[in-house]
Amino acid sequence: MSQSHTLNALRELKLHGMADTLERQFENPQLQAGGFDERFVMLVDAERLARDNRRLDRLLKRAHLKVSASAEDIDYRASRGIDRAQISGLLGCDWIAKHQNLIITGPTGAGKTWLACALAQQAARRGLPVLYRRLPRLLEELEIARETGSLHTLRTQLTKAKLLVLDDWGVMPLGKRGRQDLLEVIDDRVNASSIAITAQLPISEWHAYLGEPTIADAILDRIVHTAHRIQLQGESMRKLKGSQP
């Protein structure tokens, strides 16, 4: 069997990682000098890595993360109030496996959204479906879906995400329908998946923000008691970056 035939066969089988690596082996005499076992291991490893990368690309595309943030770039300056040990634990993603939640609070520009997206990207690296939504936009989507008859489809999409990032919690008032929709979204995730919430509003003010006491109690009971908490501090990261030469 010719080299080109072998490469074409691998690509027809969608073994693109193997095909690319084998092609490099054909072109590099030093690689060809290796034994069969060594060369075959390289092909298998290359295919596995290629598939992992494609899966990550798909997960991140579907996640619609607001910013491209990674764990390696987290700023641990003491002034930000970030506990390195806590972040290290969260990056392991066990909290998602246990269906726990995460609440990140802090002033405008403190990096809440960025940190939530970095943790979401880490979850995607572990092969977990994630989804990002600003809470005001999500409530708008739910209202539109109700009018168009696609509410079930949207709620199914939300429940498939092992981690749902709800950004900008508390930035706009909630109406009766908004409170009920939010409760339904959260209730669908109890003991099944996780939520990461970012908010300027301190947790102590969430009950008043949610308004109707019965629904507020139900929402907070489902979120807060199983949540890890991060309180970011310091100056606006946007302001600091803008002042750098």
pLDDT given for residue 74 in this prediction: 93
If asked whether residues 47 and 130 sit together in one domain, one would say no
If asked whether residues 112 and 50 sit together in one domain, one would say no
If asked whether residues 94 and 7 sit together in one domain, one would say no
DSSP label of 226: G
If asked whether residues 113 and 12 sit together in one domain, one would say no
Task: For residue 208, give the CATH number of its domain.
Answer: 3.40.50.300
Evaluate whether 153 touches 189 at the Cβ level (below 8 Å).
no
If asked whether residues 131 and 76 sit together in one domain, one would say yes
Q: Of 62, 84, 111, which residue is a domain's last?
A: 62
Q: Of 62, 79, 101, which residue is a domain's last?
A: 62
- pLDDT, one tens digit per residue, over 173-228 is 999 999 999 999 999 999 999 999 999 999 999 999 999 999 999 999 999 999 99
**What strands lie across the sheet with 101-105, from one edge to the other?**
130-134, 163-169, 194-199, 101-105, 227-231
If asked whether residues 71 and 113 sit together in one domain, one would say yes
Report the domain count for the chain.
2
If asked whether residues 100 and 205 sit together in one domain, one would say yes
If asked whether residues 55 and 144 sit together in one domain, one would say no
Q: Which residues pair with 134 in a beta bridge?
A: 167
- What is the token pair recorded at 187? 């209730």
- What is the token pair recorded at 111? 């990096």
If asked whether residues 47 and 95 sit together in one domain, one would say no
Q: Of 62, 83, 107, which residue is a domain's last?
A: 62
Q: Which residues constitute the domain of residue 38?
A: 3-62
If asked whether residues 10 and 86 sit together in one domain, one would say no
Q: Which residue has the higher pLDDT, 49 or 230?
A: 230
If asked whether residues 159 and 234 sit together in one domain, one would say yes
Phi, psi of 202, deg, nearest 5: -60, 150
CA distances from 241 to 66, 77, 161, 165, 235 (A): 18, 14, 32, 25, 11
The burial class, CB within 10 Å (0-12 / 13-18 / 19+), for 125 is: middle
What residues have CB less than 8 Å from 214, skipping those under 6 apart?
Answer: none
**How much is the pTM?**
0.80
pLDDT given for residue 56 in this prediction: 82
If asked whether residues 25 and 131 sit together in one domain, one would say no
Q: How far apart are CA 224 and CA 210, in angstroms?
A: 14
pLDDT given for residue 88 in this prediction: 96
pLDDT given for residue 24 in this prediction: 73
Percent of the chain with pLDDT over 90: 68
| Average pLDDT over all residues of the chain | 87
